[in-house]
Amino acid sequence: MAMSVGKEGGDDVPMSDINTTPLVDVMLVLLIIFLIAVPVVVETVPLALPKVVYEATVTKPENVNLSVKGGPGGQCEVYWQLTKVDSDELLKRATDKLEALVKAVGGPENVNEENMPEAHIRGDVNTPYRCIGGTIFTMQRAGFARVGFISEPPPGYAVTRL
């Protein structure tokens, strides 16, 4: 690393060019450090996974019970109570149920958390996600604010109240 002070045979005037070699060296070192450090940080993120506690679900009579399973040929089968419905019929039934509720309580201003029905979905273990996701989307589109899943605890598991 030499420093040029001027031209040969000319005046001793310093050059105004900046030597960028040290800057490039520092940047390359930082790049190598980040390339090595980032995968290590990403792969070793400590996680505290949630502890699953099953809470007994109290089903109100106005709640909607849906069963979803995968049918033959990759088709989705959705059951409203025990009646098989397609997506259009599901949307129609859900909107009709909410409209009847609004009329029964005296208008939309009287609808609250306590009298709003919920949609409970029971999904088969082998059901494709698109079937359950489509059912959730349809129920939310109809106006159901609370859509939940019904599951079974493993055998011998004590059900506790939270």
19-61 pLDDT tens trace: 888 889 999 999 998 888 776 655 545 556 555 566 666 677 7
The predicted pLDDT at position 51 comes to: 59
Tokens describing residue 142: 């109809």
Residues for the chain: how many in total? Answer: 162
Q: Which residues contact 62 (CB under 8 A, 6 or more apart)?
A: 101, 115, 117
Give the pLDDT of residue 111.
81
Burial-class residue 64 by CB neighbours within 10 Å (0-12, 13-18, 19+). buried
> Would you identify the CATH topology of the domain 64-149?
Nucleotidyltransferase; domain 5 (3.30.420)
Helix or strand run (H / E) with residue 83: strand 83-85
Closest CA to 81 of 105, 103, 97, 70: 97
Closest-CA residue to 157 (of 38, 10, 54, 35): 54
Q: Residue 26 has what pLDDT?
A: 92
pLDDT value of residue 38: 74
